[in-house]
């Protein structure tokens, strides 16, 4: 038995077009899709009955060459049924147009309510998460400040120790010098003399030593100032960051609330 | 005896025709015709069940044409058992709807449109159970679907049109798929008679067989609202009039299940699809019940449990053992009654309080103790509390699953236990909120407004839709026939516990007959060969 490819192709095309239209949201297109689909399927049933032949009427044609009458009877039935249901669907579309002014398939109201509830839960979650994030940010900043504070105090401590060590060094030098002269058997007057001499001689170097101490002190003060400045800068930056974060959080919460309000308003609900 | 077989199909159709001719007049006579018709169908179905159980499948050939060519109506154990349960349910729901129409003071519309559509749907359901060939099954589906289209969009209110549009399109799409399946089956085998198809499929190449099986299965999966194809059901059912929803929930999905049983047992025994069905069953159970837990409206909650419990029946079918099929058939019988009675009780709740939303209900236990009992019993039955029939059905399925012993079957046993627990959770939440809790003052709003120009002054609940789409009349006293028919269904479901022995023996014989295949095939083709 050979089957012509053409009816199958036509049927396939009709079904494909019908399915495409069926997936639309507009009910009129769905209706047209159903009609195309019905025709495609009916053609398929006819094709399933085998090749064309003579009319299946007893006494008028040879039974050997008759077309299969069963699919034809089935197609007739299915055409009638499809016609009836299509007419009904048309009535539904018309009624829908009367009631809503459009022929789009509407969302289920209860579905919308469930979705809204879910979204409200999400919103609360989001707000909580944002507040959490803000609190975490503030906490982190406090911790960092505290860390900086400790580091500074340690450094100051170290520097003060360093300074004391240097002063001690200077005193130790002086003591050693005095001891050296005393060991050499010099009387205290002589030592005084030497000392005055050395003081004179070492005016420059002594001055240098004093200068060193002064310089160290100045350096220390400068560093402290810098430290303070840096800390102030960091605090300022932190404040700016906090303000920014707070602003962002508030904006996000407001946006969420707005979206929710829009979702509650049935007129404004689009296909979001 | 064979002459009785067409009665469940022809009689309702005849009655529908007479009613269409009478129109809106003679209310009393119209109601009488409906009730008498459905009672007759119930009696005839019972007689057929006894005959089919004792003497094997009965076959009637429409128009006197013998089997493969003529249209055969086959009444075997499964078909007649389904017929008996469905006609009992349709009778109760019909009485309920007549009473509701009186209570809501709907004058003519229910009689002149609701009753014919209802009867055509009943005829379609009966025809689907009796159909002995695929094309007749298609026609039966179309009959019950067109009836349900009318019932679902009754009154043409906005919510019903919205739900109806989706429902009609889904129905049309699945019908088209069914036609494709029939065309392919006819092209491959040259017949549409199920008995002959069963013989000829065994010689078809495997891939053609698989294609056909999947194609037809897809159609019935849509009708039965099994998981990937179940989204349409909770969307469309709750908006229909309460009696129509009850009928849809009880019968339409079960017609799909019935067809799947026929398909798997008679046409494609031992196919590779049962693994797929197991997955579908598991997902249907879980997805459905999770949906049920999330709802705040009683009607929608019950719709989701409906989807969920379809999974149990699919589980039984997928096991394709005598125990599994017997369990599935038992569960179908139990579920038709319980699901219908739950929807009817929800209708009663709506009549008493003017709403079914759990956010606005409370304290019904004190307000209406009888409704509370009528809700509690089927709800617990649905969840499977021993010793009710829900427990027995689940037990049978779980036993069948354990006997099967494959890992997937054991997973399904676990899944069905979880589903059962979650169902209990869902109905218990509903019970707590609607019946037990003391409503905070001001939560229950004024249920309605007194309207002028009625036969007698009545209170209509705003936001509700009765049979014709007008708001329903609320009252503190529920009409006796509504209560009576609901009680009858609740008691019927309870009686399955008392009759569990004979009933499960019958379902086992049914399953044996289904899996043997030979009695069905030889009964249909015996005259034609």
Domain's final residue, options A100, A123, A158: A100
Same domain, yes or no: A247 and A128: yes
Residue A270 domain flag: no
Contact B172 A89 (CB under 8 A): yes
pLDDT score recorded for residue A267? 45
Percent of chain B with pLDDT over 70: 94
Peptide bond before A190: cis, by omega within 30 degrees of 0?
A: no
pLDDT score recorded for residue B288? 92
- Complete DSSP assignment for B242-278: HHHHHHIIIIIHHHHHHHHHHIIIIISTT-TTHHHHH
The domain that contains A11 carries what CATH number?
A: 1.10.287
Tokens of B339: 């699901």
Q: Structure pTM?
A: 0.79
Contact A110 B135 (CB under 8 A): no
**Cβ-Cβ contacts under 8 Å, B145 against chain A:** 85
Residue B441's pLDDT band, with cuts at 50, 70 and 90, is low
**Cβ-Cβ contacts under 8 Å, A110 against chain B:** 238, 295, 297, 300
Could you tell me which chain B residue has the CA closest to the CA of A70?
B69
Torsion of CA B225, B227, B228, B233, to 10 degrees: 40
**Long-range own/partner contacts, residues B187-190 (CB < 8 A, 24 or more apart):** B187/A47, B187/A48, B187/A49, B188/B212
Q: Do residues B357 and A109 touch, judged by C-beta distance below 8 A?
A: no
Same domain, yes or no: A155 and A230: yes
pLDDT in tens, B244-262: 899 998 899 999 999 999 9
Residue B447's pLDDT band, with cuts at 50, 70 and 90, is low
* B347: closest CA of chain A, how far (Å): 18
Q: Do residues B364 and B349 touch, judged by C-beta distance below 8 A?
A: yes
Same domain, yes or no: A119 and A251: yes
pLDDT score recorded for residue B85? 93
Within an 8 Å CB–CB cutoff, is residue A105 touching chain B?
Answer: yes
Q: Report d(CA A231, CA A70) in Å as an integer.
A: 95
Spatial CA neighbour of B276 closest among B225, B229, B318, B221: B318
* B299: closest CA of chain A, how far (Å): 11
A97-106, A156-165, A169-178 — most confident range: A156-165
List A residues 175-214 in contact with B (Cβ-Cβ < 8 A): none
pLDDT score recorded for residue B268? 85
A159: helix, coil or strand?
A: helix
Spatial CA neighbour of B74 closest among B136, B147, B122: B136
List A residues 9-38 in contact with B (Cβ-Cβ < 8 A): 15, 18, 22, 27, 30, 34, 37-38
B23: helix, coil or strand?
A: coil
Residue B269's pLDDT band, with cuts at 50, 70 and 90, is confident
A217-226, A258-267, B413-422, B468-477 — most confident range: B413-422
pLDDT score recorded for residue A264? 58
* B173: closest CA of chain A, how far (Å): 8
Contact B139 A30 (CB under 8 A): no
Q: List beta partners, residue B335.
A: none
| pLDDT over 70 (residue A35) | yes
* A154: closest CA of chain B, how far (Å): 60
Residue A117 domain flag: yes
Could you tell me which chain B residue has the CA closest to the CA of A15?
B176
pLDDT in tens, B60-99: 887 777 766 778 888 888 999 999 999 999 999 999 988 8
Q: Which whole number is the average pLDDT over B93-120?
A: 82
Burial class (CB in 10 A: 0-12, 13-18, 19+), B179: buried
**Cβ-Cβ contacts under 8 Å, B138 against chain A:** 78
Same domain, yes or no: A87 and A154: no
H or E element that contains B461:
strand B459-461
Residue A73 domain flag: yes
* B179: closest CA of chain A, how far (Å): 7
Domain's final residue, options A100, A118, A147: A100
H or E element that contains B459:
strand B459-461
Same domain, yes or no: A233 and A259: yes
Which of B139, B159, B183 has the CB atom closest to A44's CB atom?
B183
**Cβ-Cβ contacts under 8 Å, A77 against chain B:** 135, 139
pLDDT score recorded for residue A241? 84
Neighbours of B409 (CB within 10 A): 20
| pLDDT over 90 (residue B23) | no
| pLDDT over 50 (residue B37) | yes
Could you tell me which chain A residue has the CA closest to the CA of B164?
A92
In eight-state DSSP terms, residue A65 is G
Q: Which whole number is the average pLDDT over B158-172?
A: 88
pLDDT score recorded for residue B449? 54
> What strands, in cross-sheet order, belong to the sheet with B459-461?
B448-450, B459-461, B473-474
**Cβ-Cβ contacts under 8 Å, A86 against chain B:** 172
Same domain, yes or no: A92 and A158: no
Same domain, yes or no: A56 and A146: no
Which of A44, A85, A113 has the CB atom closest to B172's CB atom?
A85
Same domain, yes or no: A128 and A235: yes
Residue A127 domain flag: yes
Same domain, yes or no: A31 and A52: yes
Q: Which whole number is the average pLDDT over B130-157?
A: 90
Phi, psi of B73 (to 5 degrees): -110, 120
Average pLDDT of chain A to the nearest whole number: 81
* B465: closest CA of chain A, how far (Å): 15
Q: Do residues B55 and B517 touch, judged by C-beta distance below 8 A?
A: no
pLDDT in tens, B195-224: 888 888 888 888 888 899 999 999 999 998
pLDDT score recorded for residue A268? 41
Q: Which whole number is the average pLDDT over A77-86?
A: 90
| pLDDT over 90 (residue B473) | no
Could you tell me which chain B residue has the CA closest to the CA of A75?
B179
Contact A105 B153 (CB under 8 A): no
Percent of chain A with pLDDT over 90: 14
Pick from A136-145, A237-246, B62-71: least confident: B62-71
| pLDDT over 70 (residue B454) | no
Chain A interface, mutation test: which of B65, B127, B168, most A Cβ atoms within 10 Å?
B168
pLDDT in tens, B277-293: 999 999 999 999 998 98
Residue A262's pLDDT band, with cuts at 50, 70 and 90, is low
**Cβ-Cβ contacts under 8 Å, A18 against chain B:** 176
| pLDDT over 50 (residue A203) | yes
Contact B171 A85 (CB under 8 A): yes
pLDDT score recorded for residue B108? 63
B111-125 burial: b if 16+ Cβ within 10 Å, else e: bbbbbbbbbbbbbbb
Q: Which whole number is the average pLDDT over B10-39?
A: 86
| pLDDT over 50 (residue B435) | yes
**Cβ-Cβ contacts under 8 Å, B469 against chain A:** none
Phi, psi of A101 (to 5 degrees): 75, 10
Q: Report d(CA A236, CA B263) in Å as an integer.
A: 77
Q: Do residues B144 and B255 touch, judged by C-beta distance below 8 A?
A: yes
Residue predicted with more confidence, B231 or A213: B231
Residue predicted with more confidence, B177 or B26: B177
In eight-state DSSP terms, residue B227 is G
Could you tell me which chain A residue has the CA closest to the CA of B147?
A85
* A45: closest CA of chain B, how far (Å): 5
Could you tell me which chain B residue has the CA closest to the CA of A99?
B158
Q: Which whole number is the average pLDDT over B396-424?
A: 91
Residue A32's pLDDT band, with cuts at 50, 70 and 90, is very high
* Overall number of domains in chain A: 2
CA A102 to each of CA A71, B90, B162, B172, B230: distance values in angstroms, whole numbers, following the listed order: 39, 37, 11, 21, 27
Q: Report d(CA B162, CA B386) in Å as an integer.
A: 40
Contact B176 A38 (CB under 8 A): yes
Q: Do residues B97 and B110 touch, judged by C-beta distance below 8 A?
A: yes
H or E element that contains B72:
strand B71-75
CA B442 to each of CA B361, B362, B446: distance values in angstroms, whole numbers, following the listed order: 11, 11, 9
**Cβ-Cβ contacts under 8 Å, A113 against chain B:** 296
CA angle A23, A25, A27 (to 5 degrees): 100
Same domain, yes or no: A116 and A145: yes
List A residues 106-165 in contact with B (Cβ-Cβ < 8 A): 106, 108-111, 113-114
Give residue for tokens 């929803």.
B245
Q: How many CB pairs under 8 A join A and B?
A: 104
**Cβ-Cβ contacts under 8 Å, A2 against chain B:** none
Beta carbons within 8 Å of A85's beta carbon, 6+ residues apart: B142, B145, B146, B149, B168, B171, B172, B175
Q: What is the ipTM of this complex?
A: 0.86
Q: How many helices and strands, by DSSP H and E, does chain A display?
A: 6, 0
CA B340 to centroid of chain Cα atoms: 8
Checking phi first, is residue B453 left (phi over 0); if not, alpha (psi -120 to 50) or beta? Answer: left
pLDDT score recorded for residue B440? 66
Domain's final residue, options A35, A66, A100: A100
Average pLDDT of chain B to the nearest whole number: 86
pLDDT score recorded for residue A270? 41
B211: helix, coil or strand?
A: helix
Same domain, yes or no: A13 and A142: no
Domain extent listing, chain B? 2-525
Pick from A215-219, B148-152, B412-416: least confident: A215-219
Q: Do residues B315 and B281 touch, judged by C-beta distance below 8 A?
A: yes
Residue A53 domain flag: yes
Q: Report d(CA B236, CA B159) in Å as an integer.
A: 9
- Give the gyration radius of chain B's Cα atoms: 22
Residue predicted with more confidence, A272 or B453: B453
For residue A9, the enclosing domain spans 5-100
Contact B296 A113 (CB under 8 A): yes
* B324: closest CA of chain A, how far (Å): 35
């Amino acid at each position: 038995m050979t089957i012509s490819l053409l009816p199958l192709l036509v049927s396939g095309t009709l079904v494909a077009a019908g399915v495409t239209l069926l997936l639309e949201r507009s009910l009129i297109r769905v209706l047209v899709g159903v009609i195309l689909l019905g025709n495609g399927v009916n053609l398929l049933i006819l094709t399933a009955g085998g090749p064309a032949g003579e009319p299946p009427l007893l006494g008028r044609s040879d039974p050997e060459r008759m077309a299969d009458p069963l699919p034809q009877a089935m197609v007739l039935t299915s055409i009638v049924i499809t016609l009836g249901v299509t007419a009904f669907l048309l009535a539904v579309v018309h009624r829908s147009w009367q009631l809503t002014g459009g022929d789009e398939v509407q969302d289920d109201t209860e579905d919308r309510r469930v979705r809204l509830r879910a979204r409200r839960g999400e919103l609360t979650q989001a707000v909580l998460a944002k507040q959490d994030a803000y609190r975490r940010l503030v906490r982190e900043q406090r911790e960092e400040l505290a860390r900086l504070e400790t580091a500074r105090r340690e450094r100051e401590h170290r520097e003060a120790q360093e300074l004391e060590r240097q002063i001690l060094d200077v005193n130790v030098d002086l003591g050693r010098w005095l001891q050296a002269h005393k060991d050499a058997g010099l009387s205290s007057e002589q030592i005084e003399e030497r000392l005055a001499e050395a003081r004179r001689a070492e005016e420059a170097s002594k001055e240098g030593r004093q200068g060193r101490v002064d310089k160290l002190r100045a350096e220390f003060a400068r560093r402290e100032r810098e430290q303070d400045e840096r800390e102030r800068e960091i605090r300022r930056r932190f404040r700016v960051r906090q303000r920014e974060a707070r602003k962002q959080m508030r904006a996000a919460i407001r946006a969420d609330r707005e979206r929710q309000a829009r979702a509650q308003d049935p007129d404004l609900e689009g296909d979001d | 005896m064979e002459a009785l077989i067409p009665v469940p199909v022809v009689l309702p159709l005849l009655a529908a025709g007479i009613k269409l001719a009478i129109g809106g007049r003679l209310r009393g006579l119209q109601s009488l015709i409906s009730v008498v018709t459905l009672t007759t169908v119930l009696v005839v179905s019972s007689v057929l069940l006894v005959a089919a159980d004792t003497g094997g499948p009965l076959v009637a050939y429409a128009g006197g044409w013998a089997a493969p060519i003529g249209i055969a109506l086959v009444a075997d154990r499964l078909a007649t058992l389904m017929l008996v349960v469905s006609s009992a349910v349709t009778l109760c729901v019909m009485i309920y709807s007549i009473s509701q129409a009186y209570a809501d003071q709907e004058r003519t519309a229910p009689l002149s449109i609701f009753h014919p559509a209802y009867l055509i749907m009943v005829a379609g359901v009966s025809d689907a159970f009796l159909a002995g060939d695929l094309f007749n099954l298609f026609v039966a589906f179309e009959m019950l679907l067109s009836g349900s289209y009318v019932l679902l969009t009754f009154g043409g209110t906005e919510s019903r049109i919205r739900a109806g549009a989706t429902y009609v399109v889904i129905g049309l799409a699945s019908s088209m798929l069914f036609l494709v399946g029939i065309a392919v089956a006819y092209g491959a085998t040259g017949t549409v008679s199920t008995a002959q198809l069963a013989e000829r499929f065994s010689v078809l190449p495997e891939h053609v067989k698989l294609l056909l099986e999947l194609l037809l299965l897809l159609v019935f999966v849509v009708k039965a609202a099994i998981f990937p194809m179940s989204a349409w059901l909770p969307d469309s059912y709750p908006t229909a009039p309460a009696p129509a929803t009850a009928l849809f929930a009880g019968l339409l999905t079960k017609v799909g299940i019935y067809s799947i049983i026929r398909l798997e047992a008679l046409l494609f025994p031992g196919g590779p699809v049962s693994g797929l069905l197991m997955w579908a069953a598991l997902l249907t159970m879980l997805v459905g019940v999770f949906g049920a837990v999330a709802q705040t409206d009683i009607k929608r909650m019950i719709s989701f449990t409906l989807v969920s419990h379809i999974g149990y029946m699919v589980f039984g079918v997928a096991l394709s053992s005598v125990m599994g099929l017997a369990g599935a058939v038992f569960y179908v019988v139990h579920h038709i009654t319980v699901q219908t009675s739950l929807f009817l009780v929800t209708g009663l709740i709506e009549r008493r309080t003017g709403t079914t939303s759990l956010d606005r209900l409370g304290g019904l236990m004190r307000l209406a103790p009888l409704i509370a009992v009528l809700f509690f019993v089927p709800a617990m039955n649905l969840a499977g509390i021993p010793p009710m029939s829900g427990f027995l059905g689940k037990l049978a399925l779980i036993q069948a699953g354990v006997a099967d012993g494959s890992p997937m079957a054991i997973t399904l046993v676990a899944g069905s236990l979880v589903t059962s627990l979650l169902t209990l959770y869902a109905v218990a939440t509903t019970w707590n909120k609607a019946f037990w809790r003391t409503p905070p003052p001001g939560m229950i709003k004024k249920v309605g407004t007194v309207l002028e120009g009625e036969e007698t002054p009545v209170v209509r609940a705003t936001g509700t839709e009765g049979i014709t789409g007008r708001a329903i009349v609320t009252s503190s006293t529920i009409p006796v026939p509504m209560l009576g028919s609901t009680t009858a269904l609740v008691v019927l479901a309870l009686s399955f516990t008392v009759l569990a022995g004979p009933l499960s023996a019958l379902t086992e014989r049914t399953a044996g007959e289904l899996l043997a295949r030979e009695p069905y095939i030889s009964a249909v083709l015996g005259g034609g060969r």
